[in-house]
Structure 1
Amino acid sequence: MENLKARARELLRGFKGDGYAFGLGVLDRVGEFASGFGNSALVVANRGDWFRHVVDAVVESLSKRGVRLAGDRIVPDAAPNAPREDVYRITTYVLQFRPDCLIAVGGGSTIDAVKAANVLASLGEYEPEIDPYFGTGQVSAVLAKSGKKLLPMVAVQSAASSGAHLTKYSNVTDPVAGQKKLIVDEAIVPSRAVFDYAVTKSMPKGMTLDGAFDAIAHCLEVFFGIGPQKYDLAREIAEVGIELAVANMERVIEDPKSDEVREALGLATDLGGYAIMVGGTNGAHLTSFSLVDIASHGRACAVMNPYYTVFFAPAVERQLRVVGDIYKRYGYITADLDRLSGRELGVATAEGMVNLSVRVGFPTTLSEIPGFTDEHIERAMTAAKDPQLDMKLKNMPVPLSASLVEEYMRPILLAAKTGDFSLIKNMK
């Protein structure tokens, strides 16, 4: 395990250099980073008692470096999945208090909301609504046209989950429509990031497992869809990240306060963040955006990825041998993978993923998720045809166009509803 962790650290240092402080006991670096941007910082964080020790440590670190709280307050963070109302609310604070930098302290939803609020506060003269920024490269286009800049941002991650503190993505949800959409832009990558893995010991079991499955999803989906030029890097990230997650999910249930296990899962989710800067996620992530009203992101991806794995199998046999070997070494696959190929190899690997979910008490079909109805399938089908989400179709190892969604994606969703892999059609 220590060798795996060493490989993970080397990958992350190569990825982020000195702009990222990660490990155990690094929370005090926040003030150092923020002081490089000015004398005031707007801090957005959860204000609950359970999180107070983290926020207090951040504020103390700022004070030591002579950085004051803009507005003399902590701004309330975002609800799960970064509802657009929270994005607009945080934007108002930025405009009112005019800080030198932004500091998001929390999980992926809080960091995503602050990324999006930064865009609106900085570029609102050009377009004050969030919708035109969804898609790929829209923020950079406006920055180039307007000559404006975003505020510097320090992302202080508190949850081993999405890797939002390292990435170019901001997920924003319309709660009324029950649909999540995505800003994808290099311009919104946080200027600096801090992740003290010890903070995650306060994460509840469900949230911890959600994050670990999200790490697997990021590494897996990117590895499946990567082109030949970046294959070796994506393979290294996936090998290390997926194994760190798979090896430690049952362990964290047994010993949730273990520094060793929390560090391993933190490194895994960080590698998931690195993965989605190397390539893009695809099928399971796309479907998860239509399940926001009934399932956390990691849980939705955990349910969907086995079914997309079967669909992709003939096109990703090389990747499946790497991934399947990890699940087999940790006892989740009993089949002799060397004797399998194509779809059969995909089914065996998918069964290993399902077995891990069963062992940690996660659902393995859509029907097991409370609140699921066939309307969620229709919502997912509609979303798959949305031009603002078409990057997910293009990122698939078996790319789909909107015209092929009905023929091939609906059977995947029906299989995920019932658990019947035989319903999935492979493209010829």
Structure 2
Amino acid sequence: MDRFTYQYPVRQHFGKGCAESAIKEEMNRIAGNNVLLAYGGGSLKRTGMYDKIVGWLHECGKTVTDFGGIMPNPTYAKVQEGAKMVREQGIDFILAVGGGSVIDCCKIVSAQAKLDEDIWEMQYAKHQYPTEFVPMGAVVTASGTGAEQNNGAVITHEEKKLKQPLLGAYHTFAVLDSDLTRTLPMKQVISGAFDTLSHCMETYMGRPQATNLSDEINESVMQSVIKNLRALIANPDDDFARGELMWASAMAENGLLKLGKQTDFQCHMLEHAVGAYTDCNHGQGLAVIHPILYRHLLSEGKEKLARMAQEVWKVKGDTTEQTASLGVEALAGFIREIGLPTRWSEMGITDETVLRAAADTCFLMPGCCKQFTRDELYEVLREGM
């Protein structure tokens, strides 16, 4: 694909090498001069990208305040730290540079900075949601989550032992420059791409089960992820595959595939619950859960699983049930092929009491074709030991 700018509702700047021109264009649009530059660990500085971005911001007349050290599973304490900084420093704009964790953290920082009350209690106790935000944008350096496309964020509340979604700000813009992903370890690239595939499957398996145009587009996105991930593993210098995976990540979470759907996302909620107790890698956790969960859905979700088997995995049996089962095993085989874990023990998780606690605190999703009990979810997790 060639470069383009696309807005739905986040303005998209896509293309290899587009970061400088996109950031300068957007910074010249915003009101105010005080920018909070948010990022994760030290990789942004080690690669020299930090200095480049700070230089571009200075060229646009902006004052830069650092908000670094955002962890892979951002904590509620980190959100509060950022919100305090925004208030005290008089921040006009937040620029999140990183992957889903940095971007998610900043969405909630943007909202909490405008609130006089605790945003977690506001959303979970009062079922109310923020309406004012500090403007923000995202520069994606690790694709897969699609976090730059929506206003949902996953935050770990360490005191409550919960890793759950909150609603915060939409970005004004997102920069999708595939060059920025080249410094990532391949293991992280693979994990992120599988998260994209998971988002697609979680949307596809939602209600209604009858196939619609959104699902047919989704099938193409899933095929693209599988094809381009294989291509990138075979040749990490394949810029086309990198760009395709980056846009697939955006497509999975920019709302288009979800039109007319009540999404499933039971696998995601289950992985988040495990992550609250173990701080495990998100994409790897999804890889362990997905095939097992889908085996538990073979009765209730057989029609949709069978269509995914034929259209995405290109396998077919003699019956709908057999086709659905073959599709689930093709997914499991792909996970092994790309080197993701298939057991919790491969991730250092060996305590079944953690899995029990995760099942007992997991969100139960109404969009799933099977309404699981907590005991059934525990059995799904336990089968992954």
The alignment's TM-score, normalised by the length of structure 1, stands at: 0.80
Cα distance in 2 between the residues matched to 1:308 and 1:190: 33
Identity among equivalent pairs (%): 20
Q: 1:249 to 1:93 in 2, by over 3 A?
A: same
User: What is the CA deviation profile of residues 183-240 of structure 1, one whole-angstrom value per residue up to 9, with x for unaligned ones?
Assistant: 1x3x52212211211111111122111101100110001110043799321331x213
Answering whether residue 383 of structure 2 is matched by residue 415 of structure 1, we say yes
Instruction: Report the residue type matching 1:337 in the other structure.
Output: K
C-alpha displacement of 1:130: 3.2
C-alpha displacement of 1:255: 2.0
User: What is the CA deviation profile of residues 386-408 of structure 1, one whole-angstrom value per residue up to 9, with x for unaligned ones?
Assistant: xxx34xx21212234xxx332x3
Instruction: Report the residue type matching 1:414 in the other structure.
Output: R
Q: Give the aligned partner of residue 39 of structure 2.
A: 45
Counterpart selection for 1:67 from 36, 59, 62: 62
Q: 1:281 to 1:208 in 2, by over 3 A?
A: farther
Cα distance in 2 between the residues matched to 1:117 and 1:82: 11
User: What is the CA deviation profile of residues 365-419 of structure 1, one whole-angstrom value per residue up to 9, with x for unaligned ones?
Assistant: 33433123212321222113xxxx34xx21212234xxx332x3233233333xx
Q: 1:49 to 1:216 in 2, by over 3 A?
A: closer
Q: 1:85 to 1:313 in 2, by over 3 A?
A: same
Answering whether residue 164 of structure 2 is matched by residue 181 of structure 1, we say yes
Answering whether residue 318 of structure 2 is matched by residue 323 of structure 1, we say no
Instruction: Name whichever of 215-224 and 250-259 sits farther off.
Output: 250-259
Unpaired runs of at least 5, structure 1? 144-148, 330-335, 418-428
Instruction: Report the residue type matching 2:270 in the other structure.
Output: T
Counterpart selection for 1:22 from 6, 14, 18: 14
Cα distance in 1 between the residues matched to 2:359 and 2:274: 12
Counterpart selection for 2:225 from 239, 245, 250: 245
Counterpart selection for 2:285 from 300, 306, 311: 300
C-alpha displacement of 1:319: 3.1
Answering whether residue 347 of structure 2 is matched by residue 352 of structure 1, we say no
Contact 1:241 1:267 in 2 (8 A): no
Contact 2:19 2:177 in 1 (8 A): yes
SS in 1 for 2:176: strand
Answering whether residue 352 of structure 2 is matched by residue 374 of structure 1, we say yes
Counterpart selection for 2:140 from 157, 182, 202: 157
Q: Give the aligned partner of residue 29 of structure 2.
A: 36
SS in 1 for 2:200: helix
Contact 2:114 2:133 in 1 (8 A): yes
Q: Give the aligned partner of residue 153 of structure 2.
A: 170
Report matched runs for 1:73-88 at 5 Å. 73-88=65-80
SS in 2 for 1:138: coil
Instruction: Name whichever of 370-379 and 45-54 sits farther off.
Output: 45-54
RMSD of the TM alignment (CA)?
2.8
Cα distance in 2 between the residues matched to 1:309 and 1:75: 40
Q: Give the aligned partner of residue 340 of structure 1.
A: 319
Answering whether residue 100 of structure 2 is matched by residue 108 of structure 1, we say yes
Aligned length: 377
Higher helix share: 1
Contact 1:290 1:376 in 2 (8 A): no
Q: 1:277 to 1:159 in 2, by over 3 A?
A: farther
Cα distance in 2 between the residues matched to 1:88 and 1:14: 30
Cα distance in 2 between the residues matched to 1:153 and 1:265: 24
